[in-house]
Structures are given as C-alpha cells and as structure tokens.
Amino acid sequence: MNAPNSFRTQPDERGHFGAFGGRYVAETLMPLILDLDSEYRRAKADPAFRAEFDDLLEHYVGRPSPLYHAERLTAALRESAPEGMGAEVWFKRDELNHTGAHKINNCIGQILLAIRMGKTRIIAETGAGQHGVATAAVCARFGLPCVIYMGAKDVERQQPNVFRMKLLGAEVRPVTSGAATLSDAMNEGLRDWVANVHDTFYIIGTAAGPHPYPELVRDFQSVIGREARAQMVARTGRLPDLLVAAIGGGSNAIGLFHPFLDDPEVAMLGVEAAGHGLGGSEHAASLAGGFPGVLHGNKTYLLQDEDGQIAEGHSISAGLDYPGIGPEHAWLRDIGRVEYDSATDAEALDAFQLLCRTEGIIPALEPSHAIAAVTRRARNMPRDARILVNLCGRGDKDIFTVASALGVAI
Amino acid sequence: MNRLPAAFAKGRPALVAFVTAGDPTPDATPAILDALVAGGADVIELGMPFTDPMADGPAIQAANVRSLAAGTRTADILEIARGFRARHADVPLVLMGYANPMLRRGPEWFAAAAADAGVDGVICVDVPPEEDDALGPALRAFGIAPIRLATPTTDAARLPQVLDGASGFLYYVSVAGITGLQQAAQASIDAAVSRLKAATALPIAVGFGVRTPEQAAAIGAVADGVVVGSAIVEIVAAHGTDAPSAVLPYIQSLAVALTTARKGMKQ
C-alpha cells in the first residue's frame, strides 16, 4: 500500500478511517449524531471554545502534565540488557491529572460541547470507573445531573470508584445484562440515550462509538501528544524513538500517538491486554485475536465468534476489558503505521511492582501493560534511544485487585 | 418474486408479528411461527439474536439471551426460515437484527443465504442510510428488500435520505426509545403517518409499544401495517415450548381488531 501524504487527516467526512469507523446507529440516534457532528465542527473553529478548554485543562485538570525521565527504571532494565543496549525510558505523567487518569481531558471537552448544545442531562458508561469518576467530576463542576452506567460485575470489583462517583453527585446504575461489564454498560448507555434524545448528552469515554466520537475523543486527548512532543524536544533536543501506550478502546494511545503520526522517525507501539494469554479465549486483544465487525456504532476489530456474536473480553484491568478497539487504531494497524503488541495479566502485575519499587510510582493496571511491553523492548534498543510511555492512570484504584492477585490480605 | 407488496394489498392493515429466532430453542420456533400465521399474521419478522441488542428493551434482550443460551447459530436461523418458506409459500418473511451477525461472513454471503432460504426483507437496526453500502447493495442484488426505519427524530429534511433505497415497507418506530416499553400517543402516530404517506408510496407499518387489540385498531385506522413484537416475545417467555397455543388467541385478537379497523380506513 502507498503511504498517504499524511496520517493525520482521518477520518473522512462520513467518519471512516479507511475501512473502519462510520456511524452504525439506530435511526433514532442518527439525527443526534449529525447534530453533534455539526456542533463539533463549529466548536473546533471557535477560538472561545478552545480557550475555555485550555483554561480548564490548566486550572482544573492540572495540565501540562510533567514529562519524567525514569532513570531508575532505565537502569534496572539495562542490568539485563546486552552490552550497549537499554533505551532511556520517559513517562508522560497523565496519572497526575485531577481524578487520576487521562480520562478527564476528554470529559472536559465533551461537557463543553454538551453545554453548547443546550443539553441538560449527562450519561456515560464506565468500566474501571475512571471515566465515570471523570464524568461525575465535570458534571459536578458544571452543575449537570449525571447518570453512570456500570456493569454490575465492575461495580463489585471497583467499589472505591463507585463511592467516588456517588460523592461527586452521580447516580450509578449497575447493569446486569450480558456479562455485566463495560460492553453491557455501553449498550445500556445507548438505550438511555435513544429514550432521552432531546435533553441528554452521552459522554463516551474512549475513542470509539459512532462518528464523530472517535475523532472528537482523539482531538481532546491529543493534548497528551502535543505537550509530550514539545516537552521531549525542549528537554532532549529531539523526538522520541518509540511511543508506547496501553490500549483498551485506545483513547490514551491515540491521544499520545496522533500528534506524532507524521514524524517518520517516531515508531509507535500499542499494547493490548492479553489476559491469561492469547492462546485461549480469556483476553481482551481485539487486534491480535479479533476480526472486523460492527459494534457500538463503529466498524472495527472485535472479539467475536464465527456467527458475529461478541465475545467477553478478559483482563485483570477493568479498563482494558472491552471486546473492541477504536477504529483509528484498526486503520493504523492495517496500514502499518503503528505496531501493536500485548501483555498478559501476569506481565502487567510484574511491571506494576517494578515501577512501584524503581520509581516510587504506583501505576494503574492499564499503563502497567504498556510498561510490561517496555521492559521487553528497551533491552533491545540502543542506550541512546528514547522510549516515551504514556502513564495514563494512577494505581490507587487497583490496589485491592493487585493485593488479591498477589495473594495478600489487606 | 418478493412477497411483501401483496401482504400490504389485502384491503386492511397488515399484522406484522415479531419473534426472536431460537427462543426458547431453535426447535421450538417453527411451531410458534405457524401459530402466528394461523392467528392471522400477514408478515413475519424473525429476530436474529445478538449478544449486544442495544436498541431493544428488557423483553427482547431476555429473548436474545435465551436463544443464544440455547445454542442458536446463524445456520439455525436460516434453517428456520427455509422450513417456514416450505410450509408457507406466500407469507412474507423478514429477518430483523443487528449488523454484526449479518455482516460476519460478508454481506453477499448473508444476502445469498437469506434469499436462498426464502427471506423477503431485512431490517438491520444499526445500518442507517449513511452506511447503506455495508449491506444494502448486496440485499438488492438478491431481490431482498432493505426495510428502513423512520422515527420521531427523523425530520422532514432527513426523510428523503431514509426513503432513498428503501423498499418493502417503511417501519415507523413510534417512540424515541427501546422496544417494548412505552407507547406513543395516538395523535402523534396519526400525524407522523400522514407526514410519511405524503413522502412515499411505500406501505407504512407502525411499531414499538403496541400491545392491545384496541391500540392495533387505532393505528390500523391510519397505517398500512401494525408491528407487534415485545408482547409476543413475553408470551413466549411465559409459556416456553407451549407458546404456540398461547400465542394463537393473542394474534387472533389483534387480527380481528385490524379487520375491524379497515372500516374506518381511507383507501
């Protein structure tokens, strides 16, 4: 395939990223999706919208997030690297954002859009609860009522985040249909939306769903990559050699990658959750183990059987436990611009502990997957190479899961 | 020869009856379909179960779960269709479901298999006109009607796009919501149907939330067809493999109501 002139011009006006993306929604939602699209075009062209977004990111979220040279992790990885090998590892510290993850960047952008559109009620889905907490926070900040759909199984395993959402004034509705996890929460969010089209705005948490969601979530999250690009150049005098980010739906990864897509010297690696291993069915790696299909409004790679029934994803990280992936990643994989790999639950747990001990940072289980991939890659890259990892969330929410996985009672 | 036009040309509103294929089991579905026809259904909508039925309410969600738990495969659904066609040569059969199971082996495969099984139309909930390329051309090539949905949110500016490429009938979803929960005010249905009729010569069938013979008759007084789904699915849920004998009188009550509705209907 011929490389396009730019990798940064997707999607087309119909929301297609190559063969992926699109607007696969019920007719009731279609006029809303079209409204949202035109309002987003207007907002994008409005300097006042951008100014308010930037102001909130600075003063409410705490941006720019730091760029951090992880020297002790780098040294630890060099110990087992061949002579002259062992790349420098750098972190984009999005775990330091208000509410503890990158999710808030997108929520700020979407709630400003909701207000522009005159919507008076917010709904969202959440898996691990990070997007739910971020949505609940911005709803409290702007005084809008908020309903969060969350799989009943996730409600059980993410109790601290459920309580955070409630403290922030959100109503958390447990979803018992299907596998009672993120995918089912998204179905329920779509059902609510279709029944409340006139006053409700659906804040989708990842770079998936019907157009224009994958595009607007990417744009709001691209603050990560824009900052990181400028920070790397300022601190090191050049661009990084490799970007690494964990992928569930893929919003933190596309946010980091997108501003670098037209820099040919920058390689990129997205890391899916391999759960108990790609050999079995208990993983959440849609690119490695899935096939193209249509779910939740877009065409993308999905974990599914030969009849097109959607499989349940599995990952120790509730935030990666989704059977699909954002359509732009599906496109970037197929054209070869971004490489995708995976890390198992066990590898992520090892990486989680390694980072705690070498850098004094407790990462979320999601970026622990990215760090696991870095431990493999860094050893085989020269010492003067630089890897930039998106540390997209902090691990406070995960300590109970990790304790249980390590057999520790707390 | 597509069987749908004749079903809407009987001089009375057509009764369109929906059940989920494979609920409670694939083996149980044929007798339920036969009861729908015996009770007076003019068009059969056979729901294709899906793991993620995001436009459906609790009744049809539960039917999907029961069907998939019973092991229903795409091949079983096509076999149910083929058997139905062998027993009922003239009753139109429509497959209704979501894009992913329909597109899994490619749209041409699905259209060819459905046509071969005697299917007349397909309603794909999550393929709007904007994504027609994904499925529409394949259906048309095999003589299957792509049946489009119009909703309370489909405004006048958008309606031509919905109608472009539509065939069989136009399914008016009378409430902005999921299946089976609310019912629309009759006045809003009357207004919507007359607006749609002004824009298309296709028959207009109205569904979502229709349960009683009285509702069916009121809708039948203005529309060309009445779609009943969740109420039938609930009978199947309550009676399982004994559903046919329970479905039959219910369908008869709707059919009788629609025959009466004809008297008030402008031809």
B56 has catalytic annotation: yes
B54 touches chain A (CB under 8 A): yes
B159 has a chain A CB within 8 A of its CB: no
- Hunting for tokens 């908020």 — which residue is that? A146
Tell me what the mean pLDDT of segment B1-13 comes to: 94
Average pLDDT over residues B230-254: 97
- Tell me the CATH class for A64-100+222-405: alpha beta
B154 touches A at CB < 8 Å: yes
Q: Is the pLDDT of residue B265 over 50?
A: no
Least CB-CB distance to A178: which of B51, B74, B105? B51
How far is the C-alpha of A288 from the C-alpha of A219, rounded, in Å? 26
The yes-or-no answer to whether A17-59+102-217 and A64-100+222-405 have a common fold is yes
Q: Which CATH number fits domain A17-59+102-217: 3.40.50.720, 3.40.50.1100, 2.60.40.1180, 3.30.930.10?
A: 3.40.50.1100
* Residue B172 Cα, gap to closest chain A Cα (Å): 10
pLDDT tens-digit series, residues A391-402: 999 999 899 999
Mean pLDDT of chain A: 96
Look up the ipTM and state it. 0.96
Check B61 against A177: CB less than 8 A apart: yes
What number of other Cβ atoms are within 10 A of residue A252's Cβ? 33
Work out the burial of residue A9: count CB atoms within 10 Å of its CB; fewer than 13 is exposed, 13-18 middle, 19 or more buried. exposed
- Most A-contacting residue of B20, B51, B102, B110 (CB-CB within 10 A), to test interface: B51
SS3 of A65-116: the string is CCEEECHHHHHHHHHCCCCCECCEEEEECHHHCHHHECHHHHHHHHHHHHHH
Query: Which of B42, B56, B132, B234 is the catalytic position?
Result: B56
Which residues from chain A sit within 8 angstroms of residue B173, using beta carbons? 27-28
Tokens (6 digits) for B37: 């026809």
Interface test with A, best of B131, B132, B179 (most A CBs within 10 A): B131
CB A34 within 8 A of CB A297: no
Mean pLDDT of B228-237: 97
Mean pLDDT, range B213-239, rounded to an integer? 97
User: B147 CB near a chain A CB, below 8 Å?
Assistant: no
In this predicted structure, which of A124-128, B49-53, B197-201, B221-225 has the lowest mean pLDDT?
A124-128
Examine the pLDDT at B68 and tell me if it is beyond 60.
yes
B-chain residue closest to A300, CA distance: B100
Which of B57, B101, B181 faces A307 most closely, judged by CB atoms? B101
CA distance A126 to chain B (A): 16
Q: Is the pLDDT of residue B243 over 50?
A: yes
Rounded to whole angstroms, the Cα distance separating A151 from A134 reads: 17
* Predicted local distance difference test score (pLDDT) of residue B262: 63
**DSSP single-letter state for residue A304:** B
Which residues, including other chains, have CB under 8 Å from residue B203's CB and lie 6 or more apart? B8, B14, B169, B170, B224, B225
Q: Report the pLDDT value the prediction gives residue B263, as an integer from 0 to 100.
A: 56
> Domain-by-domain residue ranges, chain A?
17-59+102-217, 64-100+222-405
In which residue are the tokens 């390329």 written?
B133
For residue B252, the distance in angstroms to the closest alpha carbon of chain A comes to: 31
Q: Which CATH homologous superfamily contains domain B4-264?
A: Aldolase class I (3.20.20.70)
**E strands within A98-240?**
121-126, 146-151, 171-175, 200-202
Which of B23, B42, B45, B120 is the catalytic position?
Answer: B45
- A89-129 confidence digits (pLDDT tens): 999 999 999 999 999 999 999 999 999 999 999 999 998 89
The nearest CA of chain B is from the CA of A124 a distance in Å of 15
